[in-house]
Amino acid sequence: MHSIVLLNPPVVRPSEPPAGLARLCGALKKNGVECAAVDLNIEGLLHLMERREGVAPSADRWTARAEKNLTANLSLVRGPRALDNADAYRKAVLELDRLASRAHSRPGVRLGLTDYKDDSLSPLRSGDLLRAAREYTCNPFFPFFSKRIPGLLAKSNFAGISVNYLGQALSAFAIAGFIRAEFPEVRIIMGGGLITSWLSRSGWQGPFSGVVERFVAGPGEGALLSLLGVERPLAECPPDYSPFPLAGYLSPGPVLPYSASSGCWWRKCSFCPEKAEAGAYVPVAPSRALREIKGLVALERPALVHFLDNALSPAFLEEIIKDPPGAPWYGFARITRHLTDPGFCRSLKDSGCTMLKLGIESGDQGVLDRLNKGIDLGVAAAALKALRGAGIETYVYLLFGTPPENEEAARNTRDFVLANRDGIGFLNLAIFNLPIDSEDGAGLEKREFYEGDLSLYADFRHPLGWDRRVVRRFLDREFRREPAIAEILRRDPPLFTSNHAAFFSRFN
Ligand code: SF4
């Protein structure tokens, strides 16, 4: 009989448990496979911060204060007191980050609560990932995972490592290298969002056969079950969060993440990796999704449900109004006419909707049309107004430097934000990256810019001269300096941004 250990490597924002592993765990256990799951991310970060206890206080005052306040800061960030005093919460988050960043001594390593980078190793170069696997003792989490993993693998013949973000990749390969060296009989499987993106790239070669046995794209339950010898898996298996203590994560209340679909029901935006990667849209039937969520809410009693979908479908929103999950919730939605209806927005609010994340991207209609975003700016403005009227907070995403944008169009975006400022709770500003396999990149002049063989984006010469450097200057010198915009940007929770924003809604 097979047995598997599922691992979530550091570093990714430690605000909630890993939803993908919870879904795998549910499917494996329901189908009779022995399975353990461990979040090495939150455990590893806490280990880094806590192991400083008992050593002589640091010489620099900020770190010394962060060491002294560790217990109090953890308790503040994990509880409702964070919401009473935004300044204390902000200070606590920054002190925890400081502590994590000082918990290693290797030069060139930039580690914090939400990311891990190493100047000498790029997660975008397969050669560097192989080096991370070979030199696993150099990973800043080695003292932790070398003690934690052996006990887990004592009874397992498979290890599944989930890699969703670049900040996890170096540690994922260091962990794989450690397992390969210490437990050569254990078969290593890697999956997750980042691996799926790499596998979907034309030209993927994956030169990792000496380290990783098998890579899995997409949700992964089917591939894993068949690898573990389950011929006819049961279809309906809700996620299992029992391995992950929700209250131990760093959020002002326990957060339960849930995906009601994979892929995107729209999948037309020209700039989007979802389109370039051509992954299928696979929704969980809305009635089943709500059944699962309600079961999980009854069991785990979260303060907030976080829907991870790229965009919650109108069908799902209709269903959640009819059958609310029993806990406040937030997630991404597309701007559609539904959201301009004050009655619909009030019903969403009654279902527990605290915040919607909205990718508006541009305040210039010509740009939106060229990006195939399918958004009408009049509808977007009406939606922001109706959501505010219903008391639903918004987290608006804007994208600058897309191929059809020029300076005038960017100023139109600024004007759109100013005109609709009351309906915008939080803002995320991003600069466009061209997906490497994007059809829309065909007419653009790409630049020789070699980030690595695993890079998902290409550098390009902007056809209107509106390239990253000029865009950055516009954002820093003009956009961010608008007093009304600066006020919105100041509300953003430090480091945790949208993961904590719903707790700080203006309407709570
Ligand atoms: S709605 Fe979002 S996820 Fe879907 S294609 Fe557009 S940008 Fe991509």
Nearest CA to ligand 1 atom 8: 272
- Ligand 1 atom nearest the C-alpha of 272 is 8
Give CA 233 to chain center in angstroms: 29
Mean pLDDT score, 171-185: 97
Percent of the chain scoring above 70 in pLDDT: 96
| pLDDT of amino acid 386 | 98
Q: Is the CB of 266 under 6 A from ligand 1?
A: yes
Q: Is the CB of 335 under 6 A from ligand 1?
A: no
| pLDDT of amino acid 104 | 77
Mutation test of ligand 1: which of 197, 264, 268 has the most ligand atoms closer than 8 Å to its C-beta?
264
Strand ranges (E), 55-157: 109-111, 116-118
- Quick one: which of 146, 149, 134, 107 has its CA closest to 7? 149
Q: Is the CB of 310 under 6 A from ligand 1?
A: yes
Distance 335 CA to ligand 1 centre (A): 11
Q: Is the CB of 357 under 6 A from ligand 1?
A: no
Nearest CA to ligand 1 atom 6: 269
| Cα–Cα distance measured from residue 423 to residue 238, given in angstroms and rounded to the nearest whole number | 36
| Cα–Cα distance measured from residue 114 to residue 411, given in angstroms and rounded to the nearest whole number | 32
Report pTM.
0.95
| Cα–Cα distance measured from residue 121 to residue 97, given in angstroms and rounded to the nearest whole number | 22
Is residue 211 reached through a cis peptide bond, with omega within 30 degrees of 0 on the bond before it? no
Q: Is the CB of 334 under 6 A from ligand 1?
A: yes
| Cα–Cα distance measured from residue 182 to residue 171, given in angstroms and rounded to the nearest whole number | 16
**Domain 3-46+118-227 CATH class label:** alpha beta
- Ligand 1 atom nearest the C-alpha of 334 is 1
Give tens-digit pLDDT for 384-404.
Answer: 999 999 999 999 999 999 999
Q: Which two tokens stand for residue 353?
A: 């909707």
Q: Is the CB of 274 under 6 A from ligand 1?
A: yes
Distance 313 CA to ligand 1 centre (A): 12
What is the chain's mean pLDDT, rounded? 93
Give tens-digit pLDDT for 450-505.
Answer: 678 888 888 889 999 999 999 999 999 999 999 999 999 999 999 999 999 999 99
- Ligand 1 atom nearest the C-alpha of 264 is 4
Radius of gyration, CA atoms only, the chain:
23
Nearest CA to ligand 1 atom 1: 266
Q: Is the CB of 267 under 6 A from ligand 1?
A: yes
Distance 502 CA to ligand 1 centre (A): 21
The more confidently predicted of residues 50 and 23 is 23
Nearest CA to ligand 1 atom 5: 267
Residue with tokens 């339960």: 256
| Cα–Cα distance measured from residue 141 to residue 147, given in angstroms and rounded to the nearest whole number | 10
Q: Is the CB of 272 under 6 A from ligand 1?
A: yes
Nearest CA to ligand 1 atom 2: 310
Give tens-digit pLDDT for 188-230.
Answer: 999 999 999 898 876 666 678 889 999 998 888 888 898 888 8
Nearest CA to ligand 1 atom 3: 310
| Cα–Cα distance measured from residue 454 to residue 197, given in angstroms and rounded to the nearest whole number | 10
Distance 263 CA to ligand 1 centre (A): 9
Please report which confidence band the pLDDT of residue 449 belongs to, taking 50, 70 and 90 as the band edges: low
Distance 266 CA to ligand 1 centre (A): 6
Domain ranges of the chain: 3-46+118-227, 52-102, 253-504
Q: Would you say residue 231 has pLDDT above 90?
A: no
**Superfamily of segment(s) 253-504:** tm_1862 like domain (3.80.30.20)
